[in-house]
Amino acid sequence: MTQDLTLIRPDDWHLHLRDGAMLQGVLPETARHFARAIIMPNLVPPVVTGAQAAAYRDRILAALPEGSAFQPLMTLYLTESTDPEDVAAAHASGLVKAVKLYPAGATTNSHGGVRDMDKVMPVLEKMAEIGLPLCVHGEVTTPEVDIFDREAVFIDTVLAPLRRRLPELRVVMEHITTEEGVAYAREGGDTLGATITTHHLILNRNHLLVGGIRPHYYCLPVAKRERHRLALRAAATSGTGRFFLGTDSAPHVDAAKETGCGCAGCFTATNTMPLLAQVFEDDGKLHALEAFTSLNGPAFYGLPVNDTKLRLVRHDTPQTWPEKIYTEAGPVTVFNPGFPVHWAVEA
């Protein structure tokens, strides 16, 4: 059995850092293990313009622990009034690596998202022209669609028509959760990628609901049936270049999770790499972990792989991590997989 595993240092292609005190508290958890991350723009107010993205990047860099080489990769929040020329200028400067599509009302701080795709076509056409990827939260929000079906309906009614209309547009299907998402990504061609989260490789909807509601397992897109989780595991461990890690690590203070209308999000920044090593080992696919965490994402985004390494060691006894991260905004509960994890990141 492998006891020691050295990987090219990983990247996180979907990360929430928030702002202010929360940013200060959670950023070190990602910067400890990851070299880069695609930073989500759904702040209040959202990061819509290049100037706002530059200011947010500066706040992230100022919050980094001393000596950290972590690099935030900035994104813009797509709205129906987004200026295509501002997007192009932010991309040309090297600042912005993607634009994020939130269907209005789909998840945290998405109320300013897109309702009418026709209204954002000038931006998408410009992005296709300049090669700037579109990251999509792939769920419809129409009330008649069951929450467990939102992803499959989005693929059929929004994503597939968009890609037929703009086949040269580079698209990342973020945090896919279904067999349908996996199948569409596999057949999508070179302009389509898909991220998979740590927690969706571990959770099905029973974990959320059986034995009582588990608020720290509630996320959007919501965890699905076991067959969908198994499809995600097969995709992530396949080594296929279409799939790469985007944790969607999403910190909320405990008071906002453990309430009558709790926020969606799992905080996995602290322990993602040990969890993934355990998942890939359990599936007999440790040899595919580096592709998923460190190679496939840079290839899709056209970036070099990192030039530093990360070492994981397997111990005979289960390893532990802090139950909570204490920030000045309040405590944030670290994701608990519910099974023993024998791997730890070692310097």
Domain range for residue 25?
A: 4-346
- Rounded Cα distance between 13 and 298, Å, is 9
**The predicted structure's pLDDT at residue 112:** 79
- Active-site option among 248, 254, 282, 283: 248
All residues at 6 or more sequence positions from 46 whose CB lies less than 8 Å from its CB, including other chains: 77, 79, 109, 112
**The predicted structure's pLDDT at residue 109:** 61
- Cα 322 vs. chain centroid, distance in angstroms? 22
Give the DSSP letter of residue 333.
Answer: E
The alpha carbon dihedral of 159, 162, 164, 166 has a sign of: negative
**The predicted structure's pLDDT at residue 113:** 84
- Rounded Cα distance between 193 and 172, Å, is 5
- Cα 108 to Cα 42, 86, 229, 251: the distances in Å are 7, 25, 23, 11
Count up the domains in the chain and report the number: 1
Count CB atoms within 10 A of the CB of residue 226: 13
All residues at 6 or more sequence positions from 289 whose CB lies less than 8 Å from its CB, including other chains: 5, 7, 276, 277, 280
**The predicted structure's pLDDT at residue 111:** 73
Query: Residue 152 belongs to a domain with what CATH number?
Result: 3.20.20.140
**The predicted structure's pLDDT at residue 87:** 98
pLDDT in tens for each of the 347 residues of the chain? 569 999 999 999 999 999 999 999 999 999 999 999 999 999 999 999 999 999 999 999 999 999 999 999 999 999 999 999 999 999 999 999 999 999 887 677 667 789 999 999 999 999 999 999 999 999 999 999 999 999 999 999 999 999 999 999 999 999 999 999 999 999 999 999 999 999 999 999 999 999 999 999 999 999 999 999 999 999 999 999 999 999 999 999 999 999 999 999 999 999 999 999 999 999 999 999 999 999 999 999 999 999 999 999 999 999 999 999 999 999 999 999 999 999 999 97
Q: Distance from first CA to last CA of the chain, Å, rounded?
A: 21
- Cα 150 to Cα 14, 141, 145, 196, 315: the distances in Å are 20, 7, 6, 17, 40
All residues at 6 or more sequence positions from 171 whose CB lies less than 8 Å from its CB, including other chains: 133, 134, 135, 136, 159, 162, 163, 188, 191, 192, 193
**The predicted structure's pLDDT at residue 2:** 60
- Rounded Cα distance between 20 and 31, Å, is 17
Place of tokens 């850092």: 17
Secondary structure (DSSP) of 180-196: HHHHHHHTS-TTEEEEE
pTM: 0.97
* Residue 248 bears catalytic tag: yes
β partners of residue 245: 196
**The predicted structure's pLDDT at residue 110:** 67
Contact 138, 151 (CB under 8 A): yes
**The predicted structure's pLDDT at residue 19:** 98
Structure tokens at 210: 């059986």
